[in-house]
Amino acid sequence: MKIIRIIGFISLLSQSLLAQNTPKYSNEFLNIGVGARALGMASAQTAVANDVTAGYWNPAGLLNIEDKYQGTLMHAEYFAGIAQYDYLAFATPVDSNSHIGVSIIRFGVDDIPDTRFLYDINGAINYNNITFFSSADYAFLLSYARRSNLIKGLQLGANFKIVHRQAGDFATAWGFGLDAGAQLERNGWVIGVMARDITGTFTAWNHNLALIYDIYVQTGNPIPQNSVEVTVPKLSVGVAKRFPVFQNFGFLAALDLASTFDGQRNVLIRSNFASIDPRIGVEADYKQKIFLRFGAGEVQEIKDFDGTTYYTYQMNFGVGLQFKQFAIDYALTDIGDQAEALYSNVFSVKVGF
């Protein structure tokens, strides 16, 4: 009953910012996910995360790390290699009851041509005047997890995160926010709860109007204004359990319900109060050394040109190898989509010592 009260409290807290004028999608790069294992399981990680990647998925899971030090690296490319996604994390125990972790995320597009001065003062095209810039989003997460003394098997965690977004020299933004998570283990079953942006993540934008004012006026575009975005809370509730199949084989099943509270979204379950995106992930293993993974989620209803509707969903696949304290994982995401440009190959490595 106490874990239900925790879930209810976080759900009520998620409503606190609905009255504000907030964008429906803000800091979306933080919703992509990290780690090839997790992405191969369609991000069903709220109750599963038990390594250094838990700093992102559910900081309470950091307490399940058995190594004194654990680190991970991930690289992925999106949109046929145009966008680069990089992730680095490290975790270590503070004492027998608490862990800390640090995570760094970068999602960016590099070498974007700046053609503002393509034409010289005589009106002729001069390609030598083209320069290049990057548009990148950064997130820095400081995680802390601690075992509860009140409920046996209950683990609690929190993130303090800093967001930095930059579009060349044209605009920059800084933001701050908090996440909170919990995991509870009972008879092999694990229940996880993760509340992102529980206080709202406030991101303040500053535009360098001196660089863009003339161009915007000439093209008739509205002049951007300095502003503050608020990323409203999201809630994920998950359950997972590993089943031994044969002597050396096991099977892990996980279900996540990712909920938003900012009006209807195009997900499987939607209402004016909440929109819920179910995600399922499975992981088969041999001696906890060789892994085969599958996941499905992100069900959406699409309207065709003739007015009919149909449903799409994302299917992911992954494999992994564990050799002593070293692990390498691979995931192929969006294999159920028709657009080949959306396929993404994700690699990550993890080491403990």
pLDDT at 11: 41
| pTM of this structure | 0.86
Closest C-alpha among 30, 15, 31 to residue 232: 15
pLDDT at 344: 81
CA distances, 185 to each of 59, 112, 240, 269, 278 (Å): 15, 48, 10, 27, 21
Which pLDDT band holds residue 6 (cuts at 50, 70, 90)?
very low
Tens of pLDDT along 296-343? Answer: 988 888 888 888 888 888 889 999 999 988 999 999 887 545 455 567
- Cross-strand bridge partners of residue 283: 252, 293
Closest C-alpha among 29, 27, 11, 35 to residue 330: 35
Tens of pLDDT along 112-149? Answer: 998 888 887 788 898 888 889 999 999 999 999 999 98
Sign of the torsion angle spanned by Cα atoms 255, 328, 78, 202:
positive
pLDDT at 343: 73
Sign of the torsion angle spanned by Cα atoms 238, 185, 316, 139:
positive
User: Residue 283: is its pLDDT beyond 80?
Assistant: yes
pLDDT at 21: 47
Report yes or no: 106 and 83 within 8 Å, Cβ to Cβ: no
All structural domains of the chain:
2-352 (2.40.160.40)
Report yes or no: 254 and 297 within 8 Å, Cβ to Cβ: no
pLDDT at 342: 63
